[in-house]
């Protein structure tokens, strides 16, 4: 190694050592030596010849610089322990790990530059191992890099790269050779108060522009005499110092912040058919005319199987309510069975006490110990609550997106479509309102096609339709069936009806319902549970005490001239009458005369003899007994009293006749 530590050599110093002492480059030292014609001798170093300069032949300032540097180096060597004089760098595991972490963080351009340096040093090492001198090998590689168009490639550059990895293991060379470019780091100064004002103005939900915030800050700076940097400086500092999630929270709100967090992917392939369901409401963007004549957008409550994705049941009404949700679940339970798990939105309809009262995790409305058990809880369904307004927690939201396009924009509803937001109204907005019966018909058809459409790409369907996937799992899944009593409990207790005094039939919504069990309850008030969408079916009749009576069928009115219906009705009436007569005959064991003959004759009254006789005392006080000749004679006062009573009664009779306007006939 050539350096100032070799000053004891008799041959002299090489130009590199002199350059280090003077603090200039090697080329600058060579130019000065040639210009001033310093004496030198030639010596061979490996395979090359170098120039050596004797200390006495050099100018005085150069001699002083060489001696001063040599003395400093000697002093440092004397103070250092002997065992640490090895100048090879020792790398720790922490340093190497940090180098690899930095390599992972840099851009691809810097990674490619590190790879070029690594390849160049590996080439130099291979040439040296093949017998070439180190400097000759570096020159050869540098020349090749220059021919390849690598800027700055030289022997000195290769030397600097080799110095950066000196003492490091070969497998760490790539990370250590990564360029340490940091770019521009200097920033303009800004007053702390100005920075606080700009942040407070910019980090608002109103989302003001950076230009308006900077303009307002300039007015404040004029008052205080502040010197502001450019707007670009403020925006760069915002991006550098304030995390992006903080910016989104301040300018867009919590919902936008939650959207930045990756949604949880839930695997539903573990659910069998009807094992788990989820339910939600959806308001369609269609104007409809309801039964009462009002116009509005219909609300649908649907129940979806989580395992297959099939829509199992739904109901449509003007508003979302607990009754609408209960009827939708009643359709599912009646048709398919009772689910085991259910995910619901914590809305007022689904969290109603009527539906989910008694659920352990129901935190809506006031919870009391005396609250009735909800319908779903009574059926043994385990309730789970989804996050409100969070579509990822409710897979049924995906079905709503399909129905929005296929139902709301159906050609049958042209002119009734409202648009999905106030700014997306079509040009024919409000020109039509479809009848609710037509809407229900189209909805039922589209839901059937939605369930039957093949090519579903979910993990469970794998190209099959929702119907096919559900049917395949339903055939082998354990299904719980509801009893008739449980199904009746899910119907809506709609009205109290007075049964007919003649036949016991009840009327509801213009329809008449009757069965034989209602005959004994004729003239009584009865409670009727019914399905509002199936008024021509049967209704469940209960007493006012809540005791179930029977299911009464709808007795439909027929045409006046419908002879076949009249014949059928007469036949049924005759059969019912004959059955009643047969029952009466079976109950009668004897006729009325036989019953009368069995009645006993009443015995004569047996009067007891009195044992005590009251005495008559007082003399003159004793009443005078009537004579045998007739009644007692009247006194003089009796006629007067009788006359006054007759006058009073006659006056009362005349007053009543005058009040009624009736005049009695006069005798001839």
Query: pLDDT-derived band of residue 558, with 50, 70 and 90 as boundaries?
Result: very low
Residues 283, 310 contacting (CB under 8 angstroms): no
Q: What does the alpha-carbon distance between residue 46 and residue 132 come to, in Å, rounded to a whole number?
A: 10
The number of CA neighbours under 13 Å toward the Cβ of 199 is 17
Q: Is 568 helix (H, G, I), strand (E, B) or coil?
A: helix
Residues in the chain: 668
pLDDT at residue 269, as a whole number = 74
pLDDT at residue 250, as a whole number = 92
| pLDDT greater than 90 at residue 258 | no
| pLDDT greater than 80 at residue 187 | no
Least confident segment among 162-176, 363-377, 433-447: 363-377
Contacts of 426 (CB under 8 A, 6+ apart): 417, 419
**Helix H or strand E encompassing 281:** strand 276-283
Q: How far is CA 338 from CA 98, 318, 334, 376, 416, in A?
A: 59, 27, 8, 9, 37
β-partners of residue 540 are 529, 551
Q: What does the alpha-carbon distance between residue 8 and residue 421 come to, in Å, rounded to a whole number?
A: 91
Residues 201, 234 contacting (CB under 8 angstroms): no
Q: What is the pLDDT of residues 296-311, one digit of tens each?
A: 999 999 999 998 999 9
Residues 359, 400 contacting (CB under 8 angstroms): no
Phi/psi of residue 155, nearest 5 degrees: -65, -40
Q: What does the alpha-carbon distance between residue 640 and residue 387 come to, in Å, rounded to a whole number?
A: 99
Sheet with 538-543, strands from edge to edge, namely 492-498, 525-530, 538-543, 548-555, 511-514, 506-508
pLDDT at residue 83, as a whole number = 39
Q: Is 567 helix (H, G, I), strand (E, B) or coil?
A: helix
| pLDDT greater than 90 at residue 129 | no
Query: Following DSSP, what letter does each residue of 355-376 receive, concatenated?
Result: HHTT-TT--SS---TTPPPPHH
Asked whether the CA dihedral 76, 79, 82, 88 is positive or negative, the reply is: negative
| pLDDT greater than 50 at residue 78 | no
R_g over Cα of the chain: 55
Residues 358, 318 contacting (CB under 8 angstroms): no
Asked whether the CA dihedral 160, 166, 171, 176 is positive or negative, the reply is: negative
Residues 333, 482 contacting (CB under 8 angstroms): yes
Any idea what the Cα angle at residue 401 is, between residues 398 and 403, rounded to 5°?
115
Least confident segment among 106-120, 156-170, 341-355: 341-355
| pLDDT greater than 90 at residue 84 | no
Q: What does the alpha-carbon distance between residue 150 and residue 632 come to, in Å, rounded to a whole number?
A: 163
| pLDDT greater than 50 at residue 86 | no
**Candidate ranges 339-343, 613-617, 636-640; pick with highest mean pLDDT:** 339-343
More confident residue, 660 or 466: 466
Residues 245, 203 contacting (CB under 8 angstroms): no
Which domains can be identified in the chain, with CATH numbers? 4-82 (1.10.10.10), 103-176 (1.10.10), 192-260 (1.10.10.60), 276-474 (3.30.420.10), 491-564 (2.30.30.130)
More confident residue, 218 or 557: 218
**Helix H or strand E encompassing 212:** helix 210-224
Q: Tell me the three-class secondary structure of 451-513, residue by residue.
A: HHCCCCCCCCCCCCCHHHHHHHHHCCCCCECCCHHHHHHCCEEEEEEECCCCCCCEEECCEEE
Instruction: Count CB atoms within 10 A of the CB of residue 233.
Output: 15
Q: What does the alpha-carbon distance between residue 153 and residue 140 come to, in Å, rounded to a whole number?
A: 11
Residues 88, 166 contacting (CB under 8 angstroms): yes
């Amino acid at each position: 190694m050539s350096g100032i530590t070799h000053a004891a050599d008799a041959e002299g110093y090489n130009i590199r050592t002199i350059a280090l002492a003077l603090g200039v480059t090697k080329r600058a030292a060579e130019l000065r030596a040639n210009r001033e014609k310093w004496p030198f001798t030639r010596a061979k170093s490996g395979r090359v010849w170098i120039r050596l300069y004797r200390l006495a032949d050099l100018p005085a300032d150069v001699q002083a610089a060489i001696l001063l540097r040599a003395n400093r180096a000697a002093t440092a060597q004397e103070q250092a322990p002997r065992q640490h004089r090895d100048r090879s760098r020792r790398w720790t595991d922490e340093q190497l790990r940090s180098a690899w972490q930095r390599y992972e963080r840099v851009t691809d351009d810097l990674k490619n530059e590190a790879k070029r340096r690594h390849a160049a040093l590996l080439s130099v090492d291979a040439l040296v191992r093949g017998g070439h001198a180190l400097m000759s090998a570096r020159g050869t590689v540098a020349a090749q890099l220059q021919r390849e168009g690598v800027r700055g490639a030289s022997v000195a550059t290769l030397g600097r790269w080799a110095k950066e990895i000196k003492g490091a293991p070969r497998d760490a060379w790539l990370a250590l050779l990564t360029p340490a470019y940091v770019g521009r780091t200097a920033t303009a100064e800004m007053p702390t108060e100005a920075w606080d004002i700009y942040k407070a103005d910019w980090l608002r939900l109103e989302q003001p522009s950076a230009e308006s915030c900077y303009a307002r800050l300039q007015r404040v700076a004029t008052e205080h005499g502040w010197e502001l940097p450019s707007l670009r400086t403020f925006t760069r500092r915002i991006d550098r110092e304030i995390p992006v999630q903080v910016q989104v929270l301040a300018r867009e709100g919590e919902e936008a912040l939650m959207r930045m967090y990756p949604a949880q992917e839930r695997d539903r392939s573990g659910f069998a058919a009807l094992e788990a369901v989820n339910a939600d409401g959806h308001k369609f963007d269609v104007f409809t005319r309801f039964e009462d004549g009002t116009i509005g957008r219909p609300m649908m409550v649907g129940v979806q199987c989580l395992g297959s994705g099939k829509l199992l049941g739904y109901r449509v009404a003007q508003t979302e309510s607990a009754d609408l949700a209960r009827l939708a679940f009643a359709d599912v339970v009646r048709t398919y069975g009772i689910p085991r798990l259910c995910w619901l939105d914590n809305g007022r309809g689904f969290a109603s006490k009527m539906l989910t009262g008694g659920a352990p995790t129901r935190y809506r409305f006031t919870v009391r110990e005396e609250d009735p058990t909800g319908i779903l809880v009574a059926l043994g369904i385990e309730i789970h609550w989804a996050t409100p307004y969070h579509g990822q927690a409710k897979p049924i939201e995906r079905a709503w997106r399909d129905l929005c396009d296929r139902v709301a924009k159906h050609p049958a509803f042209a002119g009734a479509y409202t648009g999905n937001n106030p700014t997306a109204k079509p040009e024919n907005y409000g020109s039509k309102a479809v009848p609710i019966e037509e809407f229900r018909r189209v909805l039922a058809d589209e839901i059937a096609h939605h369930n039957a459409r093949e090519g579903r790409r979910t993990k469970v369907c794998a190209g099959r339709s929702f119907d096919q996937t559900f049917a395949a799992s339903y055939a082998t899944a354990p299904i719980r069936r509801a009893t008739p009593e449980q199904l009746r409990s899910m119907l809506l207790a709609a009205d109290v009806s007075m049964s007919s005094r003649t036949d016991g039939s009840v009327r509801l919504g213009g329809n008449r319902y009757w069965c034989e069990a209602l005959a004994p309850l004729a003239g009584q008030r009865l409670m009727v549970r019914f399905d509002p969408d199936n008024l021509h079916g049967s209704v469940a009749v209960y007493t006012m005490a809540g005791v179930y009576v029977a299911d009464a069928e709808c007795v439909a009115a027929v045409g006046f001239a419908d002879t076949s219906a009249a014949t059928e009705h007469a036949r049924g009436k005759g059969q019912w009458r004959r059955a009643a007569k047969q029952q009466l005959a079976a109950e009668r064991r004897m006729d009325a005369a036989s019953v009368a003959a069995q009645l006993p004759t009443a015995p004569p009254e047996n009067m007891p003899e009195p044992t005590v006789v009251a005495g008559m005392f007082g003399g003159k006080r004793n009443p005078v007994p009537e004579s045998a000749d007739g009644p007692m004679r009247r006194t003089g006062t009796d006629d007067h009293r009788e006359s006054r009573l007759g006058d009073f009664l006659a006056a009362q009779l005349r007053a009543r006749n005058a009040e009624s306007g009736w005049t009695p006939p006069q005798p001839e």
